[in-house]
């Protein structure tokens, strides 16, 4: 009896199906791409940055055995995470973890206090000067708390502290809304409004000129901290 042999067309078809399944699995459970649309994380993440987010490392586990065997991490302060916006779960936000469950968070001017102790924040960026004592109570950007982070929740803020819609405005982030940890910038380009005319640019075909002038080459493959 002759051995069964697959046709070339069927082999191609099966290879494509397997590749699509693997791509969907990776996108759904392991790594996903996101684009930065606003300046809330400037200057560390810029409008036009495209990120890869590790969705697996912060995934929930059903048993202690899973947490032991799989490379799952706890959420840590200082990490940049992507999550479902609590007020509109269909939208994705990106912020930095500031307060962990059970901690007390307080903001005084440009100072962050966790459990009453000042925390160093080299990533924080401010566009406004430190307000005087009489102005501290007028704006949550400079005076907030103290508040206690509930169990299973997190307090998150953008690095651009004077221009970020974050936990200071909409409250605590449920842990179940976290989608993953930001890993690296795989692509970055200047948005239209940030591109200058540039002498001699009109001599190049528009698409070629934009390709070479808009890409932020120094940010490619940049790890996110």
Spatial distance between the Cα atoms of 55 and 28, rounded to a whole number of angstroms = 8
Each residue's pLDDT tens digit, 33-78: 899 999 999 999 999 999 999 887 775 554 555 455 455 678 999 9
Q: Out of 95, 142, 164, 179, which one is annotated catalytic?
A: 95
Annotation marks residue 143 as catalytic:
no
Q: Tokens for 53?
A: 């987010």
Each residue's pLDDT tens digit, 98-141: 999 999 999 998 999 999 999 999 999 999 888 776 665 678 88
CA distances from 213 to 43, 107, 187, 196, 217 (A): 20, 40, 14, 9, 9
Domains and CATH numbers, the chain: 24-100+154-195+216-223 (2.10.109.10)
- Asked if residues 194 and 157 have their Cβ atoms less than 8 Å apart, the reply is no
Tally the C-alpha atoms within 13 A of residue 121's C-alpha that lie toward its C-beta.
25
Please give the radius of gyration of the chain, using alpha carbons only, rounded to the nearest integer. Answer: 23
Spatial distance between the Cα atoms of 28 and 118, rounded to a whole number of angstroms = 38
Q: Out of 5, 6, 15, 40, which one is annotated catalytic?
A: 40
Kindly report the pTM of this predicted structure: 0.77
């Amino acid at each position: 009896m002759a051995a069964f042999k697959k046709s070339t067309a069927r082999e191609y078809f099966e290879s494509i199906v397997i590749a699509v399944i693997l791509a969907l699995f990776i996108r759904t459970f392991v790594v996903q791409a996101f684009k930065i649309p606003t300046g809330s994380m400037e200057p560390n993440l810029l409008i036009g940055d495209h990120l890869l987010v590790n969705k697996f490392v912060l995934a929930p586990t059903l048993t202690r055995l899973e947490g032991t065997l799989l490379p799952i991490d706890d959420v840590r302060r200082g990490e940049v995470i992507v999550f479902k916006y609590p007020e509109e779960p269909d939208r994705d936000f990106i912020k930095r973890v500031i307060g962990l469950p059970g901690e007390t968070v307080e903001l005084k001017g440009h100072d962050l206090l966790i459990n009453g102790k000042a925390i160093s924040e080299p990533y924080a960026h401010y566009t406004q000067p430190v307000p005087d004592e009489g102005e501290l109570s007028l704006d949550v950007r400079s005076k907030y708390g103290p508040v206690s982070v509930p169990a299973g929740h997190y307090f998150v803020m953008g690095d651009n502290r004077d221009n970020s819609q974050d936990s200071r405005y909409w409250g605590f982030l449920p842990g179940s809304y976290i989608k993953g940890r930001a890993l690296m910038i795989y692509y970055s380009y200047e948005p239209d409004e940030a591109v200058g005319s540039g002498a001699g640019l009109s001599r190049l075909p528009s698409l070629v000129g934009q390709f070479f002038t808009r890409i932020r080459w120094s940010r490619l493959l940049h790890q996110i901290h």
